[in-house]
Amino acid sequence: MVPIADRLLAGRPYPFGATWDGLGVNFAVFSAHAHKIELCVFDASGRKEVARLALPECTDEVWHGYLPDARPGLMYGYRAHGPYEPRHGHRFNPHKLLLDPYAKRIAGEVRWTDALFGYRVGSPRGDLSFDRRDSAAAMPRAIVTVDDMFSWENDKRPDIPWAQSVIYEMHVRGATIRHPDIVVPDRGTFSALADPRFIDHLHTLGVTAVELLPVQAFLQDRFLAEKGLRNFWGYNTLCFFAPEPRYLADGSLMSLQIAIRRLHAAGIEVILDVVYNHTCEAGEAGPTLSLRGLDHASYYRLQPDNPRQLVNDTGCGNTLNLPHPRVLQMVMDSLRYWATMFHVDGFRFDLGANLGREASGFDPGSGFFDALRQDPVLSRLKLISEPWDVGPGGYQLGNHPSGFAEWNDKFRDCVRRFWRGDEGQRPELAARLLGSGDIFEHHGRRPWASINFVTAHDGFTLQDAVSYSQKHNEANAEDSRDGQNENFSANWGVEGPSDDPAIIDVRERIKRAMLATLLFSHGTPMLLAGDEIGRTQHGNNNAYCQDNETTWTDWDAARLRRNQAMMRFTARLLELRRSHPSLRSDRFLHGRVELLPGLRDVGWFDVDGGPMPDEAWNQPQDHTLALRRACRVARSGIDATLLLLNAGAARQNFKLPAPALPWVTLLDSAAIERASRDAVHDVVRVEARSIVLLAAHIDGKAL
């Protein structure tokens, strides 16, 4: 190891973090209220502190210093001196080693001990007490890295148009840890995403993007560790710049870069699920790991009338103070880093409504939204929000600014209820099938703004949605207090697995019908990884802490006949969506455009083939619906599709609406192995709990 200087040079206040210039390393960190910040340098093992040097300069509340001859690979941390006055929002404690918020790579994990807390755990004075134990032995180290080692050569973002996008939500570890064709060292890591056999699965399915659950370094929570559980999902970020170390098969950042490079070469985009609404330091009684120790009062939102307590609009104990310019800068720097260093194609913002909160509440013109929309790099990427949090006025579906797509939970609930056979679902389902214009058609927004899904990581899998009427979260050891109680699910006769052929048949029918509804709706469809091969979580609808067979995709189950059939069926749905632009319109339709006499761009019909009467929409016991859509296809004519839905328990005949078109059957979810392209003329029989898709093409020369 190169000898460490006995003091730092002045260095520069920018860029933040640790920056190597070939001659040494510049360190810069923000703190508005610290009196002194020290850089702690460790030996190559990370165990022994070899130097503790004060950052010599503070410019515009940025502390900085330069360490000559330091090189990439150097391990370091910070200690911050300042007031320990919880009643005023200050929680400085120099006995606690702090992780650099801008660390690009970290070594080691948090090892739980009471020394990690700034106060004496168990003290009668609670967080007003002060703990003098050194936390360094229990803390990970930041590692100095070099950003520009990887050559992207001719990497080109796929830039899939929104209207053609199909998202595959997946967990890096959960989706690959049991994949038999991937070598063991790569399973559960970024390297598995680069494996040609995994990419082949994505190609066979036909998705255009993978959306990865959090891959930024996250904390293994103490309460989970004490119960023998783990933070599997990763929604408790420790560092906004560093990838989760467990996902780096060889410890190198290149493994993620290689994975994204290969996915791009295969035409598949990569979207990251990111958590900027809170950090892993929890509430005021949480540990001191990074931001809390550097400047608690600046990085977090405090209760105005009691700064000792934190605003908890996230339900996770703390809320990042995004209106603060330096905190906003940190988030924007993080997003740009992932976009430029790793070439990611978009972001899904966890509790996105929280990021739009100003002092007055949610604001579509918040500083964060404005900064993101004007950014020359980030504004061109796919931006998706989870449009809610748990604070006042926290449900903001449809209220985000243009340029954003939003998770549409109303789509999920309506589709599940319709196919469960609930009454009175036809009017809402009609809106959901056409991109939820009642929610999103304003400010120039398009149907793609609706991220449609019937399952996601949070909730039941598709198999469980037809196998369980109640959640079964006993393994989480929270006395079933976690997870949603209402899932709009049904078990169709038996709670859990069944070998009854009749029950299996109806479950498979409902699964196929829900997937067909999803993929034949306007908007952006999102599939949950493993649904195509029958993945189950055994009724657990909040498996955030289950890093085991509960959440790992069972690739052996893909060999079961019914799961192979489901895989082929799902791929067929995606093929049809690609082939027929009327199934994925990029405009909201209102039936005002007449393409041929009697053929408008959209029309609703009853089973008798006539236009749906106003009074029929409100017949609560009717479980059928017919939707015809049509659009012009450049130079080739008109593409028309007719979707016939029957959620009832009995077969139903649908008379085809006028005008007569050369209809052919492309898909019948009740007979998935039957050959397609059957010509039809007057009446179509739709089996119970099934969907039939018809299509007609009118050649441009005949117009």
**Four-residue CA torsion sign, 518, 520, 521, 527:** positive
Question: Distance between CA 688 and CA 513 in Å, rounded?
Answer: 10
Distance from C-alpha of 486 to C-alpha of 416, rounded to nearest angstrom: 11
CA–CA gap between residue 181 and residue 268 (Å, rounded): 20
Q: If you ran DSSP here, which 8-state letter would residue 404 be given?
A: E
For 84, other C-beta atoms within 10 Å of its C-beta total: 19
The radius of gyration computed from the CA coordinates of the chain, to the nearest angstrom, equals 27
> 3-state DSSP call for residue 450?
strand
Please confirm whether the linkage preceding 597 is cis (ω < 30° from 0). no
Q: In what order do the strands lie in the sheet with 624-633?
A: 602-605, 624-633, 637-646, 690-699, 664-668, 678-679
Phi, psi angles (nearest 5°) of residue 272: -105, 135
Q: Which of 182, 155, 107 lies closest to 342, judged by CA?
A: 155
Contact 137, 96 (CB under 8 A): no
Contact (CB, 8 A) for 582 and 640 = yes
Contact 605, 626 (CB under 8 A): yes
Would you state the torsion angle of the CA atoms of residues 577, 578, 584, 587, taken in this order, to the nearest 10 degrees? -170
* Contact of 353 with 388, CB cutoff 8 Å: yes
d(CA 171, CA 211): 8
Which one from 281, 350, 428, 532 is the annotated catalytic residue? 350
Distance between CA atoms of residues 15 and 72, nearest Å: 16
C-alpha 502/C-alpha 525 separation (Å) is 30
CB 338 within 8 A of CB 331: no
Catalytic residue among 269, 281, 363, 386: 386
Length of the chain equals 703
- 323 Cβ partners below 8 Å, 6+ apart? 358, 359, 366, 367
The reply to whether 386 belongs to the active site is yes
CB 40 within 8 A of CB 76: yes
Quick check: 87 and 127 in contact, CB under 8 A? no
428 is catalytic: no
Active site residues: 350, 386
